[in-house]
Chains A and B, each alone.
Chain A
Amino acid sequence: MSDTHAASVPYVRESMLPQVEPPATAKGPVKWVHQSLFSSIPYTILTLVALYVIFVILSGFLPWLLGGVWNTGNIRECREVLDGAQGGCFSVLTDRWNQLLFGIAYPQDGYWRPTMAFILLFVAAAPVLFGSVPRQLLIVTVLYPFLAFWLIWGGSILVPLAALLSFAIGYVVYSRLVKSSFAGGLFGGIAVGVVVWFVAGLMTSNLTDVLALEEVASRNMGGFMLNMILGVICVSLSLPLGIVLALGRQSNLPIIRLICVVFIEFIRGVPLITLLFVANVVLAYFLPPGTNFDLILRVIIMITMFASAYIAEVIRGGLAALPRGQYEAADSLGLDYAQAMRLIILPQALKISIPGIVNVAVGLFKDTTLVSIISMFDLVGMIRGPILASTDWNGVYWELWGFAALLFFVVCYGISQYSQWLERQLQTDHH
């Protein structure tokens, strides 16, 4: 074929030219720079402006960071060392790191306890967050709440052990009864658990020094630790509550739906700070005279309520996004409501809602700083209160705020990166 072609059309090349490198301006970094930075006049101007902005920011920031002083005892010494040069007094961080992280009143020789709880949190969270981690680690996840409670609050190990025992017995009862009726299993399990907990509590009440760590009261929690405690506890408590609320809002029982709708809309309609005011100044009037559970517990209740309303809305979105056929399929298999929800609907709906739930969790974690407004010494409260008020460090703003911002950024950015990774993992449809 080719020779006839060559014969009839004389000016056609018969063989391929050897491949030639593209011109220097159309390949490699030069091409990249040209295309992505200087492709047109407006882009060039934009690039130059952006470069200038970066230069201005860095020229202010870098000398401050690199010229910083790390080892003085107070701001006057620090200013003497700096002697007019540009630089930050980071020695406030080395001097007060324990207060920033653990608050004023946590016993100094017990810092390893929250640190340990923090490290174990990763071990406990790993099997939940990553499917590739061995399932056996789930046992750590189950044990973690009790262990963390013991580590952080101290006291005898019998208290969390009793709680664990009642939890385990309650679970056994639940799994026996759940085959006949979900409601029976749930309430039976809870009832038995409470009874066991009560009995065990009575039995262990005078054995307070078995494997005891020094007890620390809730109000002595502070610093970034308090933010972490509030964040972790409230997110984990609000998840089940949010599921219940979402199911209630989607249910076809009018009274239950009404209760859930009113609750969710009310909570979502007011700012968190007003709920914290309620916890701080009003709640006591609504409890029996003399009841006095501490501020941190009241705050946990309020933040949990707040977060559960938002999580309920996210999960409701997930429930609504499921195709109608899933509900109908569950019905046609003859499953009752609890079975259908537990086995078919919720697993799928929760999977769809995970990114939304993570967003709520990040928002909630950031919102834990609001407790500083009701005079709790979390990280922000610690900075605004004792540290900036002290003779040694008044006037050291940027180092402290920068440190606080950095801590929150690391945690929140980490979580949001995880959520994006998870979203990619969960894409079951490939198009």
Chain B
Amino acid sequence: MTTMSDPQQGSFRLSMLLNDTRYRSYTFQFIALLLLIALMAFLGINLVRNLAEAGLNISYSFLYVPAGYDINQTLIDYNSQSTNLRAAVVGILNTLLVAFLACITATVLGVIAGVARLSKNWLVSKMMSVYVEIFRNIPVLIWILMIYTLMTAVLPAPNAFRGDNATSSMLLDAFAFTNRGIYIPAPVWGPGSMIVVATFVLSIIAAIIYRKYAVSLLFRTGKLLPTGWPTLAILLVPTILVFFVMGSPVGLDYPALKGFNFQGGLQIGAPLIALWLALSVYTGAFIAENVRAGIQAVSKGQTEAAASLGLRPKRIMNLVVLPQALRVIIPPLISQYLNITKNSSLAIAVGYADITATLGGITLNQTGRAIECVLLLMLFYLTISLSISAIMNVYNNSVSLKER
């Protein structure tokens, strides 16, 4: 033994597990792992015992039995005889719908408010700070409930539109604002409408190609082509021409008061509007702060340098300030989108049928399958968040400063 070159081999003592930094890390990890396994086992054994005691089991077969309840706002066909699984899918689509709508409006609101907050107009910038502070500092649940109350208590009931001495009337005979929701004309797709849609899609592609061409022409020859009006023309003219050539195949279905409610048209229910508006104004206030911080993060020297190169203010904004500000703005913006998706679970407070209200609410109540429902619910949100985080990582890598 004494001839061996590694002296550690013989002199390993048990106390080195604690005192030697080489082994200590293993000790700690081992202990952590043991604790984790013990905790899991504790919870698992309890679960099995509790379920056995209550005579319950874990089973997902409830997903395939008829749900038995109706949902008022669905994007796909659904009735009370559809399965619980389909009800959950309806909920998922509704969650995605309200999240998508709220992301768009929150971004628009946030960008406007963020830019306006930096405006030199004292009144406007102060008003925007008041907006940001008020909406950021009051819980979103209170906003949702307040806007829902506003919808139901202030807007007129469909009844008010009835009769000769109606107290309310439809806007342009096409839009009805009632406390059950807003009714707008819905497009009716007649024969040949696909051609119109196809034309429109083609014009969008053509417009993109034109803009690319304008940029490459600018880089090659320095010639500046106008982009604004030609793009609009490419987008609209062919579509309108085809629309009339085909004999107006796309019509509009106007809502009209029949029976108890407005029938026809497209109904956007009051819960959806309340949730959508509340999430937009609430998150918009946060986005406004992100936008402001992003723009302020671009140092003044950049603007001045661009100006001294002779760029006009609009081009300074487009070519110098925005690309740099976006790098700062977009990561927090995406996490705000994530927040919107998660906050949309508060739909349950106003009865909008999102995934929390269908799977985690009514299905859970009616079947009593609490563990299964909550598990599926968490899985859904986890999938969404992890995919958005993945997208964000890809984006961050693509915009990270390429140092040479």
Contacts and interface: CB of A to CB of B under 8 A. Distances in A.
Interface string A96-135: 0000000000000000000000000000000000000000
A47 interface: yes
B261 to A, nearest CB: 24
A55 interface: no
A412 B122 contact: no
Contacts of A289: 46, 49-50, 53
Contacts of A372: 141
Contacts of A286: 43, 46-47, 50
Contact of A362 (B25, B137, B389): B137
A37 B374 contact: no
Given A50-B124, A269-B382, A277-B374, A367 B139 contact: yes
Interface in B130-173: 133-134, 136-142, 145-146, 149, 153
B29 A255 contact: yes
Contacts of B123: 36-37, 46-47, 50-51
Interface string A290-304: 000000000000000
Query: Interface on chain B toward A: helix, strand, loop, or mixed SS?
Result: helix
A274 B356 contact: yes
A206 B371 CA distance: 40
Interface string B106-142: 0000000000000111111001000001101111111
B43 A397 contact: no
Interface string A304-346: 0000000000000000000000000000000010000000000
Nearest to B30: A255
A253 B127 contact: no
Contact of B377 (A268, A274, A409): A274
Interface size class of A (residues with CB under 8 A): 35 or more
A203 to B, nearest CB: 30
A278 B122 CA distance: 48
A391 interface: no
Contacts of A413: 133, 137
A394 B343 CA distance: 28
A388 to B, nearest CB: 10
A404 B119 CA distance: 32
A362 B254 CA distance: 46
Contacts of A47: 121, 123-124
Interface string A390-431: 000000011001001100110011001000000000000000
A56 to B, nearest CB: 13
A409 B134 contact: yes
A47 B116 CA distance: 12
A211 interface: no
Contact of B137 (A50, A270, A284, A412): A412
B32 A270 contact: no
A285 B87 CA distance: 26
A282 B349 CA distance: 20
B124 A409 contact: no
A405 B28 contact: no
Interface string A35-47: 1110100010011
13 contacts: A255-B32, A270-B342, A274-B360, A281-B374, A285-B51, A286-B46, A362-B137, A366-B140, A367-B139, A369-B141, A380-B141, A380-B145, A384-B145
Given A35-B120, A256-B28, 15 more contacts: A36-B121, A37-B122, A253-B29, A259-B32, A270-B381, A272-B342, A273-B346, A274-B377, A278-B374, A282-B370, A384-B145, A405-B138, A412-B138, A413-B133, A416-B136
Interface of A: 32, 35-37, 39, 43, 46-47, 50-51, 53-54, 252-256, 259, 265-266, 268-274, 277-278, 281-282, 284-289, 336, 362, 366-367, 369-370, 372-373, 380, 384, 397-398, 401, 404-405, 408-409, 412-413, 416
Interface of B: 21, 25, 28-29, 32-33, 36, 43, 46-47, 49-51, 53, 119-124, 127, 133-134, 136-142, 145-146, 149, 153, 342-343, 345-346, 348-349, 356, 360, 364, 370-371, 374, 377-378, 381-382, 384-386, 389
